[in-house]
Structure formats: structure tokens, C-alpha cells
Structure 1
């Protein structure tokens, strides 16, 4: 399990729009690689997009996907909100979070489990039984999924563990703020050296 923090920092609304695009593309890439990608975003009151988000990557391909998305990300686009604004570069930073103690257990009374037929990578067996499990935290709507095991019972445990990690990170993000989560990380992401670059309203990689 790899945990990432995505943040638009103190950037304007366009940076939050960029972060929303980043999360959509990351989720799509995870599906193509067979990696589970569970996201809990902290929305900004202006509705332009999340100010930050925590992501839990699990399963095959998680490490490679995390490496690809960790670092500075730039979206080069004329502002959709302020057409006359001269700035065209909008930034998002992504950090891998260091290991933490096990998150507190979530009350099972607050969790709804849904089983479904797993698709995608993983072999023919995935398509024959409803072994995949989604754990939904009813009070917040945050969810996590597991489908890599053949046992529904095992996937249930994995999904619950991922949900607990997401909720713990989300709570710490709200309580301590991004600054304390970012503080102490061993990376120094510089906005002038973006690892990933996207352009235009279509958010095309370049």
C-alpha cells in the first residue's frame, strides 16, 4: 500500500482545477494497470476543485504508478476562469507520505460493504464470481476497493484496511493541514522542474 498526498498548495482556483484533472487521469491509469486507486479529496468552498487529496495505491503496479505521479505537475492552459489573465502555468505537487502507525479502526456500524464481479487484469477467475468488495464509509462517502484476491472475505479485509488508511489521512489533513503533512518529507518538489506536464483544456500529456 502506497499513500500519496496531492496538493494545489496556495495556488488559485485554476490549480485546483488542475488537481481535479490529475485525480481523474490517475484513476484511469490505475484501472489500465490493474492497480487499485482509492481517493479522498478535500474540496474547496469555491467549487473549482479540491485543494488537496490523499490517494492510496494498492496491488500490482502501485509502485510504478506512484513513481510516475510523484513530483511536480504542471498544467499549461489559458485560464478557463479568467480569459484575460496572462498566466498559463498551473501547478500541483505530489508527495509520497512516509510510513505511519496503523490507522485507528473504523466502526463497522459505519461501513457498508458491496460485492461485485471484478473485471480487468487478474485472470479469468475474476470474472466468474462476485469476489471484489467495496467498503463505503457511510458518514463521509469515502470508499475503498479490493479485487485482487479470489476470496471475498480477504478482499473485504483489504478494502477495510484501505478505507481506514484513507480516513486517517483525510482526518490528519483536515486537522493538521497540508503544511504539517508535507513538513519533514525528504523530497523538495520545485515548481520549475515539473515531473509531468499537461496542456490545454483536454489535459493532454506532453
Structure 2
């Protein structure tokens, strides 16, 4: 199992739309690879149908290498080349987003986490609970928080939120070791412009092959 986050970082609305488009394509590739991708945390973008970020849990009941291979195919900086659908005539056409892979975190002492039950949000229908079963977990010392609403019970969401929070903290510590000047939030890593791992073109979000 791995976690993968697709994020617009601090980019404009166009980058948020790119996240939503990337998520749709990722789900297609995951299905083809036999990998189950569950959204366990998401932040909506400024326009309907856009996302600031989406955090996925990747699992499979087949070859575990499929998860690793799929994640590696997406990790890094992504570039969407398209005229802005929100600002007609805008000169900028290059919109960057990023993908980051997280390993499952280890168990963290309950005393270090503050839990809050909230109402699940998102599209209507059977996939969203109507009760306060969503859980927001905050690491007291750092203020880093996650919101999980995947499961139908508070207990299950609480367990998943604790593991996810631990994973983000471990990645934060690793990032600081790699670069002592890095003071970035785990949910929104800086995207490396000009060195895109994959490039997509147009509103159809078609991949540009090398």
C-alpha cells in the first residue's frame, strides 16, 4: 500500500483544474493496472469540478509491484499546456502540478494527536455519509492535520487518519534532513518547474509523448 497526493500547490485556478483532470486519468491507469485508488482526503478548488489537492490510498490484491510502478510513473512535477478556460486571452499556457508518494506511517502516541468529528463533505449519494463520521486529526506539536471520511465509522476513520498523519510527519522529517532550509507544508510541496515528468496538452488532457 502507498499514498499518492496530486496537488496544485499554491498555483492558480487552472492548476486546480489540472489536478481534477490528472485524477481522472490516474484512475483510468489504476484500473488498467489492477490497482484500487481511494480518495481519503481532498481539498476543493475555487471552481466547480476543480481540486486543490487529492490524496489517494493505493492498494491491490494482485502484484504489489503494480502499485509501486504506477506511483513512480506519476511522482514528480507534471505540466499541463492549455489556454486558460477561466481567463480568456490570458498569455500563460503552462500550468504545473505535482505528485508525491507517501509510505504508510508508523503508529503515533494518541496523546500527540487531537481528533475532531466532522460532517463528511463532497458529492452526494451513497459514497458520502450523512452523519458526523468524518475525522480531522491534528498533530498538536506541528499543527499538521488531515481529514478522512473514507470509512463509514468514526473508529475506522480515526485509525486511518492517525496512520496518514504519521506518514506525513515522517516525510516532513525526511525532507528537512535532505534540506535544512525546507519549511514546506506536507500537503503542498513545491513543484519543480521546467522539469516535468509528464506533459499533458489541451482540455482533453492528452499526454504528449517524448
Sort the TM-score into its range (normalised by shorter chain).
Answer: 0.5 to 0.7
Structure 2 runs not aligned, ≥5 long: 120-125, 135-147, 169-182
CA contact (8 A) 2:105 2:163 kept: no
Q: How many residues were matched structurally? A: 158
1:165 to 156, 160, 169: 160
Q: Secondary structure at the match of 1:192?
A: coil
CA contact (8 A) 1:38 1:56 kept: yes
Instruction: Answer yes or no: is 1:192 the counterpart of 2:160.
Output: no
- Cα deviations by residue, 1:67-98 (Å, 9 ceiling, x for unpaired): 00100111000111112100001111111124
Instruction: Answer yes or no: is 1:30 the counterpart of 2:30.
Output: yes
**Which runs of at least 4 in structure 1 moved beyond 6 Å after TM superposition?**
160-163
1:73 to 78, 96, 108: 78
Structure 1 runs not aligned, ≥5 long: 111-133, 145-159
CA contact (8 A) 2:4 2:102 kept: yes
CA contact (8 A) 1:38 1:57 kept: yes
CA contact (8 A) 1:72 1:194 kept: yes
Change (3 A) 1:53 1:181: same
Instruction: Answer yes or no: is 1:64 the counterpart of 2:86.
Output: no
Instruction: Answer yes or no: is 1:6 the counterpart of 2:14.
Output: no
Change (3 A) 1:81 1:65: same
Change (3 A) 1:195 1:165: farther
TM-score (norm: length of structure 2) = 0.62
Cα distance in 2 for residues equivalent to 1:190 and 1:54: 19
CA contact (8 A) 1:76 1:89 kept: yes
1:90 to 78, 91, 95: 95
TM-score (norm: length of structure 1) = 0.63
2:175 aligned partner = none
1:54 aligned partner = 55
Cα distance in 2 for residues equivalent to 1:81 and 1:67: 31
Cα distance in 2 for residues equivalent to 1:204 and 1:43: 23
CA contact (8 A) 1:7 1:92 kept: yes
